[in-house]
Structure 1
Amino acid sequence: MTFPRLSIRKAALAALACALFLALPASPALAHDALKRSSPAKNAQVGSVDRIELEYSAGVKFPFVLLHDAAGKQITIGEPRTSGHLVLADVPQPLAPGAYVIAWRVVSSDGHPIEGEIPFSVKGSSSVSASPSPAGGAATGGPSTAATRPAPAGSAAAAGETSAASAGVPGWIWGGLAVLVVLGAFVLIRTARRGRDREDVNAD
């Protein structure tokens, strides 16, 4: 009668130890790679952009990088490439003043895809020369020509900003580990009580 009781107790202890082992190192072991630095930086105001640089905490694979303006129009850039922990993409054409967003997606070193967006703005003249209106245009009610102005950098960058995907551990993993710990403790306590009951019966 002693051998089965010890086997059940060992199994319960093993399940509890396994749950605790998975819970403790889960954060560093399952954490995805993260974007450490970018050029242009997030919410930065730059004079020009010749190349996009994205630096990650580890080497990544299958980089995908897009550049679009505040209106959502895609800007042509070079094919993204990796160099160590960096992802590089050339910007062949000068960018007009205004707000832009870099959208990126890579496969982390642990095999999981991660993505994010980096808003920034290009500084420059806020007005473009326009043809002067005729002297009597306002009086006669004729149409007037307004100067074209890019959207303010602050408001456009705020509108285009989107937080990056979380690279942390999903909440359901923590919930599952907590359930395993509770079940292991319950089985251990119940097994101990049954063992004591059997010892009392055998003693009688």
Structure 2
Amino acid sequence: MTFLRRALVPAVGTVLVLLLTSPAALAHDRLKASNPADRAKLKSLETIELEFTSHMQLPTIVLDGPGGKPVPLDKPRVQGNKVFARPTGALPEGRYRIAWRVVSSDGHPIQGELAFTITAPAPSPSASEETPTETPTPASSPEPPQPASAQPASAQPPSSSSSTAAATEADGTSGPPGWLWAALAVVLAGGAGVLFAARRKPRPDRG
């Protein structure tokens, strides 16, 4: 009995030590939740969110799209126990895979993968460009009125003769017409000629 007790005491002590220390040894930091969840089906995704059981550092997130093509992401940022990353554009329809890697609070790196599906296609930027948009027709503005001093191009300034005639008629002192002066000159010239011929005619001698 003494030998049996001596053998059991160390064994029981070892089991107790293992039971007490194993949770601490196995309690490494881990992924607690994620958005999107693994194998989720979404219509769209704007931000990848990973929540861990403790504060993480040096996060790395890689996103692969349909056909295994890499999808650009913004630089991951840490806020408390969460890590965030945003795609730089809208995600088209298809299957995606998230691969992540972080360093836990005890310096141990952990990593994992998530898969999700986008069920609705992303809006195409060219669709809005191809859609014709009606542009309002600007109302025709009325022509500005011309200044009172402006004259039409076809209007001619009144001639000086017209102005003189108008001024004469307005005064009511018009002189004799030119043809009357011409007739009077002819009559005077004829009379002068007759008078000159009469003076030169020889007088008859008286016997």
TM superposition score normalised by structure 2: 0.50
Q: Deviations over 1:153-187 (max 9, x none)?
A: xxxxxxxxxxxxxxxxxxxxxxxxxxxxxxxxxxx
Following superposition, the deviation at residue 89 of structure 1 comes to: 0.6
Q: 2:116 aligns with which of 106, 110, 120?
A: 120
* Matching residue of 2:105: 109
Identical columns (%)? 43
Q: 1:89 aligns with which of 82, 85, 91?
A: 85
8 Å CA contact 2:44, 2:120 repeated in 1: no
Matches within 5 A, 1:51-200: 51-125=47-121
* Matching residue of 2:38: 42
Following superposition, the deviation at residue 24 of structure 1 comes to: 2.7
Unaligned runs of 5+ in 1: 1-8, 126-204
Q: How far apart, in 1, do the equivalents of 2:13 and 2:33 lie?
A: 39
Q: How far apart, in 2, do the equivalents of 1:70 and 1:119 lie?
A: 11
What is the Cα-based RMSD across aligned positions, in Å?
A: 2.7
Q: In structure 2, do the counterparts of structure 1 residues 30 and 75 end up closer, same or farther at CA, with 3 Å as the change threshold?
A: same
Following superposition, the deviation at residue 22 of structure 1 comes to: 4.0
Q: How far apart, in 2, do the equivalents of 1:123 and 1:70 lie?
A: 12
- Structure 1 residue 31 and structure 2 residue 13: aligned? no
2:36 corresponds to which letter in structure 1? P
Q: How far apart, in 1, do the equivalents of 2:90 and 2:105 lie?
A: 33
Q: Secondary structure at the match of 1:63?
A: strand
Q: Which structure is higher in RCO with an 8 Å CA cutoff and minimum separation 6? A: 1
Give the paired residue count.
118
* Matching residue of 2:135: none
8 Å CA contact 2:61, 2:99 repeated in 1: yes
Following superposition, the deviation at residue 16 of structure 1 comes to: 7.5
Following superposition, the deviation at residue 96 of structure 1 comes to: 0.6
Q: Deviations over 1:100-136 (max 9, x none)?
A: 01100111122211111110011125xxxxxxxxxxx
TM superposition score normalised by structure 1: 0.51
Q: Secondary structure at the match of 1:25?
A: helix
Q: In structure 2, do the counterparts of structure 1 residues 23 and 58 end up closer, same or farther at CA, with 3 Å as the change threshold?
A: same
Q: Deviations over 1:43-66 (max 9, x none)?
A: 111111111100011111111100
Q: How far apart, in 1, do the equivalents of 2:18 and 2:79 lie?
A: 34
Q: How far apart, in 2, do the equivalents of 1:60 and 1:22 lie?
A: 28
Q: How far apart, in 2, do the equivalents of 1:97 and 1:20 lie?
A: 54
2:44 corresponds to which letter in structure 1? S
Q: Secondary structure at the match of 2:64?
A: strand
Q: How far apart, in 2, do the equivalents of 1:17 and 1:81 lie?
A: 46
* Matching residue of 1:143: none
